[in-house]
Amino acid sequence: MDFSLSNEKIAIIKAALSADGYSVGENAAFFNKLNNCSVFTGFVDVHVHLREPGFIYKETVKTGTLAAAHGGYTEICSMPNLKPVPDSMDNLNIQLDAIKKDAVIGVHPYGSITKEQMGEALSDMEDMANFVAGFSDDGRGVQSDEMMKAAMIKAKELGKPIVAHCEINELLKGGYIHDGEYAAKNGHKGICSESEWGQIKRDIELVKKTGCKYHVCHISTKESVELIRKAKADGVDITCETAPHYLVFDDSMLMDDGRFKMNPPIRAKADRDALIEGIIDGTIDMIATDHAPHSAEEKAKGLKSSLMGVVGLETAFSVLYTELVKTGVISLEKLIEIMSINPRKRFGLPAGDNDFCVWDLSEKHNVNPDEFLSMGRSTPFDKREVTGKCLLTIKGGKIAYIDKSIVENL
């Protein structure tokens, strides 16, 4: 892969800047700034919570897509945990109208699998099929085998993927962090690994029967990795994602702070090692952030009482570049494959020449949530030193994000 900033890309950047009222010309400072930068096809995140409609005190389409552009993303898929739930065209249209009005990058919503995500009746899948990236009840596992089978049959008929949050409710038992050493030592209730991998195991068998295109959200356990690895070897049409925090942290690194609480939880070192191996050997197809903003108050109640979810759009690439590429675990080419190429292929998302991001891969900085464009501020990477800074994101030939250091040179 060639990551150099070509003359063609520079011409697109100059045209975009000119359209926004900036004068570039032969500005030496501008070209010096870009001279040693790298350019990547815009990143894709297939697991983002935009919170609009219904929870705009946490995030809006505008702030969420600005945050995504700040992180180098030009396409995202938005989850259906909204009010109203997008389980019909009437409800989906509310979200589509907000996207059309305020999104600065491409947003591809999911329709829910079941009505109100309650797992009791299928959503209006056929009506929504032409307007959604797939179907998900993210935040809840579909508990009924028969309901999931019916959803898979309908999704197969419609040519859309089932995007599954895998979680067996009866195994949760009030847990809120990984059922491991940290939980036992500090008196916290744990979530067992089987609550995740047990439902993946069930779904794999259902996919074998239905032939549905199937994608697993945010895997976190070593058993999940092995089940998916074997299913792929058996020819099952399955892909999966994990998130940056599962690749960097294990439960020995937890603090009693809401910024370390998410679902599924950060698990044991053996799980983290298995996830990294899954990235290396291709079992894990892509990285998604599960960007899930909450208010400061909702995340200020420690591990026990804070709401589940952290933000991640603005830190993902720099964290992964620092922790996986600079340490030699994977190549930069592999990172771009799992952040841009693979999700586009799986979900059929566009990749135009006018959709790209420009990064200074030499710049070190400490993660500072006060600089986020997202309304959410809760991240386990707070204050962590990372390398790599996004200077510019272009979507459709237009500026979606520009760093102040570029503007200062114009």
Q: Are 227 and 197 in contact (CB under 8 A)?
A: yes
Question: What CATH superfamily classification does 7-407 receive?
Answer: Metal-dependent hydrolases (3.20.20.140)
What pLDDT is attached to residue 24? 78
Label the pairing between strands 214-216 and 73-78: unpaired
CA torsion angle 343 347 353 357 (round to 10): -40
**Which residue stretches of 325-387 are H helix?**
332-336, 342-347
Angle (CA) 118-121-123 rounded to 5° is: 90
Euclidean distance between CA atoms 200 and 198, whole angstroms: 5
Euclidean distance between CA atoms 404 and 397, whole angstroms: 19
What pLDDT is attached to residue 116? 98
Per residue in 263-308, pLDDT (tens digit) is: 999 999 999 999 999 999 999 999 999 999 999 999 999 999 999 9
What pLDDT is attached to residue 350? 83
What pLDDT is attached to residue 76? 98
Per residue in 320-347, pLDDT (tens digit) is: 999 999 999 999 999 999 999 999 999 9
What pLDDT is attached to residue 239? 98
Q: Which residue has the higher pLDDT, 409 or 87?
A: 87
The rounded mean pLDDT for the chain is: 96
What pLDDT is attached to residue 361? 97
Q: Are 76 and 319 in contact (CB under 8 A)?
A: no
Interval 212-231 mean pLDDT:
98
Q: How confident is residue 113, by pLDDT bands cut at 50, 70 and 90?
A: very high
The beta strand positions in 69-216, using DSSP E, are: 73-78, 106-109, 162-164, 177-178, 190-191, 214-216
Interval 121-130 mean pLDDT:
98
What pLDDT is attached to residue 35? 81
Q: How confident is residue 127, by pLDDT bands cut at 50, 70 and 90?
A: very high
For 31, residues 6+ apart whose C-beta sits below 8 A from its C-beta are: none
- Give me the catalytic one of 137, 290, 355, 360: 290
Establish whether 127 is a catalytic residue.
Answer: no
What pLDDT is attached to residue 36? 87
Q: How confident is residue 52, by pLDDT bands cut at 50, 70 and 90?
A: very high
Whether residue 26 is predicted with pLDDT greater than 80 in this model: the reply is no
3-state DSSP assignment of residue 33: helix
Share of the chain above pLDDT 70, in %: 100
Q: How confident is residue 32, by pLDDT bands cut at 50, 70 and 90?
A: confident
Number of neighbouring beta carbons within 10 Å of residue 332: 16
Token pair for residue 359? 């990064």
What pLDDT is attached to residue 33? 80
Per residue in 173-186, pLDDT (tens digit) is: 999 999 999 999 99
Per residue in 67-106, pLDDT (tens digit) is: 999 999 999 999 999 999 999 999 999 999 999 999 999 9
Number of neighbouring beta carbons within 10 Å of residue 24: 16
Instruction: Record the pTM.
Output: 0.97
Which candidate, 148, 150, 81, 151, places its Cα nearest to that of 116? 81
Q: How confident is residue 29, by pLDDT bands cut at 50, 70 and 90?
A: confident
Token pair for residue 149? 């089978």
